[in-house]
Structure 1
Amino acid sequence: MLKKIMTFSFLATVVLAVFSCKKDVVPKPSSHLRLDYPVAEYAHFENDCPFTFDMNSNAVIKQKGDCNFEITYPKMKATVYLTYKPVNNNINTLLRDAQKLTFEHVIKADDILEQPYLNPSKKVYGMFYQVEGNAATNTQFYVTDSTKHFVAGSVYFYAKPNFDSIMPAASYLKNDMQNLMESLQWK
């Protein structure tokens, strides 16, 4: 009987030793998500509308009637909306509406940075807004010549607003929108 118990104990020990042997667990080093976007190359865009601009050649542009455009970035799931409105003694209303649209995001925004844009030689004046935080739009702008033309632009992502997740794409698009605004010219 003792021999059976010792044999059973020996076999149990061998089975436990074989199945309990695992490789040592080595923790993975901390890392960061790597998002590589292509270097922006800008192409001049011109059609029948009373303005021209440069846009990222990786983006796709669609006219939505009356000189309104959607510039999509499929890989980033984002769209820049451009809206044109003629100025007919309503510049104050257009400016107020553009500013109101930006400041509606103040509830979710951590900060809104305003950067004036003045180009007297091209008669292009405006404001560039960078909205930080979990707002629906992170970048907006408007430009005008104060007498005939007004263009507003804003970027939206097709994702729930989470600034930490979209920050690399938002930074990339901020640069594109700033380039678009600064290259805009009236015909």
Structure 2
Amino acid sequence: MKSPLFLFGLLVLLNSCNDNVVPKPNAYLSLSYPKATYQKSSEALPYRFQYSVQAILNIKPRSWSDLQYPDLKAELNMTYQKVDKDIMRLFLDAEKLTYKHALKADRIEMHPYENKSKKVYAKIFEVTGDVASAIQFQATDSTKHFLSGALYFDASPNYDSILPAIDYLKKDIETLIETLEWKH
């Protein structure tokens, strides 16, 4: 005859096997960024815009500028050119840069922007995939000013890894374009 302790142990063991095992869900990296607040750009440029206080504005020769985001290891390089009856060439040159990424890109989406009262006509290009520049833009008044920009990260292009930062900086670029004003 089996001991009562053995039977009790066997009963506990059989009862414990009835629970379904549920695996833990995968953990996802949770990145949080500060709420964006904006400041006006320098008077030294032939254009003005608002940019994040998280960024550092560097003014370069020929009215070019960079916005550096040290915490995100990102930089928005902006090129300014005067329009001299060559607006189509300027657009084509800027779009060549965007479409150079087509080999590695999964998709390129263009989003137009227009503000007739400020004479700002722009396009934002979102380049999805492991590319060097995930967001690019071009803006003009169509007669005197042309500004193009490209966002770069100081990291190997791994789209999935930098996507939260891209989404965060996309809002800053949209704000830049929405607040863009030309000096005459």
- TM-score strictly above 0.5: yes
Q: Does 1:75 align with 2:71?
A: yes
Q: Distance in 1 between matches of 2:118 and 2:110?
A: 21
Identity %: 45
How does the TM-score come out when normalised to structure 1? 0.83
Letter in 2 for 1:71: L
After TM superposition, which residue ranges in structure 1, 4 or more long, deviate above 3 angstroms? none
* Deviation per residue, 1:29-63 (Å, 9 max, x gap): 53111211111101111322211000001111111
Q: Which residue of 2 aligns with 1:153?
A: 149
Q: Distance in 1 between matches of 2:42 and 2:66?
A: 14
Letter in 2 for 1:45: S
Q: How many residues end up aligned between the 2 structures?
A: 161
Q: Which residue of 2 aligns with 1:52?
A: 48
Q: SS at 1:75's partner residue? A: coil
Q: Which residue of 1 aligns with 2:170?
A: 174
Q: Distance in 1 between matches of 2:102 and 2:53?
A: 32
1:37 corresponds to which of 33, 41, 47: 33
1:113 corresponds to which of 88, 109, 113: 109
Higher Cα radius of gyration? 1
**Unaligned residue ranges in structure 2 (runs of 5+):** 1-22
2:133 corresponds to which of 130, 133, 137: 137
* Deviation per residue, 1:93-132 (Å, 9 max, x gap): 1000011111110111111110111111111111111111
Q: Which residue of 2 aligns with 1:3?
A: none
| Deviation, structure 1 residue 90 | 1.1
**Unaligned residue ranges in structure 1 (runs of 5+):** 1-26
Letter in 1 for 2:122: G
Q: Does 1:66 align with 2:62?
A: yes
Q: Does 1:102 align with 2:103?
A: no
